[in-house]
């Protein structure tokens, strides 16, 4: 099954945008074990987000090239000069996180190092939109981008949680070399590896509980701007867009990472639960692993994403969609598919705008040369 209506092609040497599934979720840390259990007993590492890529692809079935025109941008990303392909899923093991990290990094590096198909593209390399999978997949993506672009990049992180947690402050019951690697510590690891541009990155939609002020102090050392979910009440979507653009700028290579739990759980879905008692307890639980109340609406998130088209986003992910907890209407997956469509539209739109700028400069240069010849 391929994303949207793009062609499945893992061997093509040239593409401009690649869609890639990362069915990995063994770095998760929490999920109430329901509806199989009637208690609030925690089931650590409960699988679910590994099925996210399949769910998002299925939810994108109504998106076609015939009706893919985006009126807010005035273009159809699927019929543009840019080649968009679905690269399928990374073959990733659920039994060894160290090996899984290697597999994902290798896949991102191989696909992201190819030559763009569109000869007029201003992008030096193809852009990858990754479908998770839990949020830890951002670490191998950043490792690959660091090698491809030769240095640290900015991160724009939509999430209810910081995900810059210091692993030592959230110890595992069975410490190991891999226990530090979770879907809440991957940006801490990435920062310590020099993969993230300190002072040019931002969180958006934060609202989770903390261990204490230490969490913010650790985050500040990693150079993130924090935008809380509540900030939207004070400055609106326009203010949030302005704050992000001011922080990151429009030229800085940026990785966009969107955890679906940035959305309010009451506005994402209703869980498929037959018990009336459980329904009263969990009726607003979304199709994601670590829901937090008080989040943004899908309309607000999409509005913000549209306002950020001028960012130099060189890669992106949509993560933590867990269809086992989604409603029968696939609400969470549908939102994720729409977010993917908006990201593709913005990539194509920004690319076309950049081409027009280059063309305009070339025309101006030729006109200037002609005037000199006449003199």
- Residues 253-292: tens digit of each pLDDT: 999 999 999 999 875 444 444 444 343 333 334 788 788 8
Angstrom distances, CA of residue 172 to CA of 43, 167, 179: 14, 9, 6
Q: Can you give the pLDDT at residue 318?
A: 98
pLDDT band at 326; cut points 50, 70, 90: confident
| Residue 236 to residue 304: CA distance in whole angstroms | 10
Q: Can you give the pLDDT at residue 185?
A: 82
Q: What percent of the chain has pLDDT over 70?
A: 78
94: Cβ contacts below 8 Å, ≥ 6 apart: 24, 25, 26, 47, 50, 100
Q: Does 120 count as an annotated binding residue?
A: no
Q: Does 219 count as an annotated binding residue?
A: no
Structure-model confidence comparison of residues 315 and 176, the more confident one = 315
Q: Does 163 count as an annotated binding residue?
A: yes
pLDDT band at 15; cut points 50, 70, 90: confident
pLDDT band at 169; cut points 50, 70, 90: confident
Beta-carbon neighbour count of residue 299 at 10 Å? Answer: 10
Residue 40 has pLDDT above 70, yes or no: no
**What CATH homologous superfamily does 7-374 map to?**
Ureohydrolase domain (3.40.800.10)
Residue 66 has pLDDT above 50, yes or no: yes
* Mean pLDDT, rounded, for 92-107: 93
Question: What does the DSSP 8-state code read for residue 296?
Answer: B
H helix intervals, the chain: 52-59, 97-112, 138-149, 186-192, 213-221, 231-248, 276-282, 298-307, 331-374
C-alpha 221, offset from chain centre: 23
Q: Can you give the pLDDT at residue 41?
A: 41
Q: What percent of the chain has pLDDT over 90?
A: 56
* Mean pLDDT, rounded, for 203-207: 97
Structure-model confidence comparison of residues 331 and 255, the more confident one = 255
Q: Can you give the pLDDT at residue 373?
A: 57
Structure-model confidence comparison of residues 113 and 357, the more confident one = 113
Structure-model confidence comparison of residues 204 and 68, the more confident one = 204
Torsion (CA) 357, 360, 366, 369 in degrees, nearest 10: -80
Beta-carbon neighbour count of residue 51 at 10 Å? Answer: 19
Q: Can you give the pLDDT at residue 36?
A: 42
303: Cβ contacts below 8 Å, ≥ 6 apart: 237
Residue 328 has pLDDT above 50, yes or no: yes
Structure-model confidence comparison of residues 11 and 134, the more confident one = 134
Q: Does 135 count as an annotated binding residue?
A: yes
Residue 33 has pLDDT above 70, yes or no: no
Q: Can you give the pLDDT at residue 8?
A: 55
- Residue 73, classed as helix, strand or coil, is coil
pLDDT band at 369; cut points 50, 70, 90: low
pLDDT band at 137; cut points 50, 70, 90: very high
Q: Does 261 count as an annotated binding residue?
A: yes
* Mean pLDDT, rounded, for 338-359: 91
* Mean pLDDT, rounded, for 225-245: 98
Please tell me the pTM assigned to this model: 0.86
Q: Can you give the pLDDT at residue 221?
A: 92
Q: Can you give the pLDDT at residue 30?
A: 58
* Per-chain mean pLDDT for the chain: 84
Residue 167 has pLDDT above 50, yes or no: yes
**Tokens 């290579």 appear where?**
253
Q: Can you give the pLDDT at residue 271?
A: 42
Domain boundaries, the chain: 7-374
């Amino acid at each position: 099954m391929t994303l949207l209506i793009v062609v499945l092609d893992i061997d093509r040497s040239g593409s401009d945008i690649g869609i890639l599934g990362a069915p990995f979720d063994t770095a998760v840390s929490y999920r109430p074990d329901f509806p199989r259990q009637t208690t609030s007993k925690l089931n650590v590492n409960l699988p679910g987000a590994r099925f996210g890529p399949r769910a998002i692809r299925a939810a994108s079935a109504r998106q076609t090239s015939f009706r893919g025109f985006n009126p807010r941008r005035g273009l159809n990303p699927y019929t543009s000069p840019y080649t968009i392909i679905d690269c399928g899923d990374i073959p990733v093991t659920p039994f060894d996180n160290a090996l899984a990290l290697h597999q994902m990094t290798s896949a991102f590096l191989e696909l992201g190092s190819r030559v763009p198909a569109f000869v007029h593209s201003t992008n030096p390399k193809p852009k990858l939109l990754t479908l998770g999978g839990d949020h830890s997949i951002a670490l191998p993506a950043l490792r690959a981008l660091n090698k491809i672009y030769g240095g640290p990049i900015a991160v724009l992180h939509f999430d209810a949680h910081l995900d810059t947690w210091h692993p030592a402050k959230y110890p595992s019951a069975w410490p190991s070399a891999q226990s530090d690697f979770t879907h809440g510590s991957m940006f801490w690891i990435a920062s310590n590896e020099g993969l993230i541009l300190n002072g040019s990155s931002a969180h958006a939609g934060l609202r989770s509980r903390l261990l204490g002020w230490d969490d913010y102090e650790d985050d500040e050392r990693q150079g993130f701007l924090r935008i809380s979910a509540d900030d939207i009440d004070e400055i609106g979507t326009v203010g949030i867009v302005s704050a992000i653009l001011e922080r990151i700028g429009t030229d800085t290579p940026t990785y966009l990472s969107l955890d679906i739990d940035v959305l309010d759980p009451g506005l994402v879905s209703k869980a498929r639960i037959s018990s009336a008692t459980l329904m009263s307890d969990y009726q607003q639980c979304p199709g994601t692993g670590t829901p937090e109340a008080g989040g943004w609406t899908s309309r607000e998130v999409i509005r913000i994403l549209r306002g950020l088209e001028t960012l130099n986003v060189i890669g992106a992910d949509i993560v933590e969609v867990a269809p086992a907890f989604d409603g029968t209407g696939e609400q969470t997956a549908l939102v994720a598919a729409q977010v993917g469509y908006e990201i593709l539209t913005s990539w194509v739109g920004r690319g076309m705008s950049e081409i027009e700028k280059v063309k305009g400069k070339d025309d101006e240069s030729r006109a200037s040369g002609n005037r000199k010849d006449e003199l």
